[in-house]
Amino acid sequence: MTQPLLQVDAIEALYGQAILAVRDVSLEVRQGAVVALLGANGAGKTTTLKAISNLLGAERGSLSRGTIRWKGEPTARLGPSELVRRGIVQVLEGRHVFPQLTVEENLLAGGFLRRPSRRQIAADLEQVYAWFPRLKQRRGSKAGLTSGGEQQMVAIGRALMTRPTLVLLDEPSMGLAPIIVQEIFEIIRTLNREDGVSFLIAEQNANLALRYADHAYILETGRVAAAGPAAELAAREDVKEFYLGAG
């Protein structure tokens, strides 16, 4: 079997000296997979994603145990921007668009790390607009004035401008109407199938995420409580009872 793109091996993550947010998480993402990271509020999903993209330091957090490997190589010494250059990009929870910039300017901001040519940028932008036709319509609008769903699309589109191999997506459904969330997940699936982009998606909405993911991990107080192919997990009685609201 080929080596996974991403291997997270028994990590523990702390905020400050004492807040243990992740106690023991191991997971992997294979090339071309959509993997869901599920669990209640506070279970450690965001912390796990930030540990992978080396963003914990910005919040006085640190990886206190375990190893994370990207294409077989430990990532501990690689900064967040180096990881982006190597193909891992994170879309933060809460979208974080630049509200005063237009939709298009926000997208362009995502491309700069690779120092691409103008032609390349134009091609990447057209590609993002092909995935998100709504953003093309709204290209000249200030991002802060677009809807929540459009802002989530901007945040994902901006990440795609880095030409990622793996997108870490934190809580894409947060605060959005179900119909918009479904639209976003459909686009993710298309991106995955047609372009081979892999995704690791942290989601509280387990019902939804299990419908779109190939594989899933359920976190509980910083540990992996259950894991497996998404369809198998969705069919398990204990998972249904505790996580899918169908007791």
In the bound complex, what is the minimum distance in angstroms from residue 204's beta carbon to ligand ATP? 6
Backbone angles phi and psi of 239, in degrees to 5: -70, -45
Is residue 17 near ligand ATP by the rule CB under 6 A?
Answer: no
Q: How far is the first Cα of the chain from the last one, in angstroms, to the nearest whole number?
A: 37
Residues 6+ apart with CB under 8 A from 30: 2, 4, 5, 198
Is residue 59 near ligand ATP by the rule CB under 6 A?
Answer: yes
Q: Of the listed pieces 15-23, 84-92, 114-122, 238-246, which binds ligand ATP according to CB under 6 A?
A: 15-23
Looking at 4, 39, 87, 111, which residue binds ligand ATP (CB under 6 A)? Answer: 39
In the bound complex, what is the minimum distance in angstroms from residue 71's beta carbon to ligand ATP? 25
Residues 6+ apart with CB under 8 A from 106: 97, 98, 143, 154, 157, 158
Per the CB < 8 A criterion, the answer to whether 167 and 160 are in contact is yes
Q: Which residue number, 93 or 214, has a Cβ lying nearer to ligand ATP?
A: 93
Q: Which residue number, 181 or 202, has a Cβ lying nearer to ligand ATP?
A: 202
Three-class secondary structure of residue 129 per DSSP: helix
Per the CB < 8 A criterion, the answer to whether 124 and 116 are in contact is yes
Is residue 175 near ligand ATP by the rule CB under 6 A?
Answer: no
Residues that bind ligand ATP (CB under 6 A): 15, 19, 21, 39, 41-47, 59, 93, 171, 202, 204
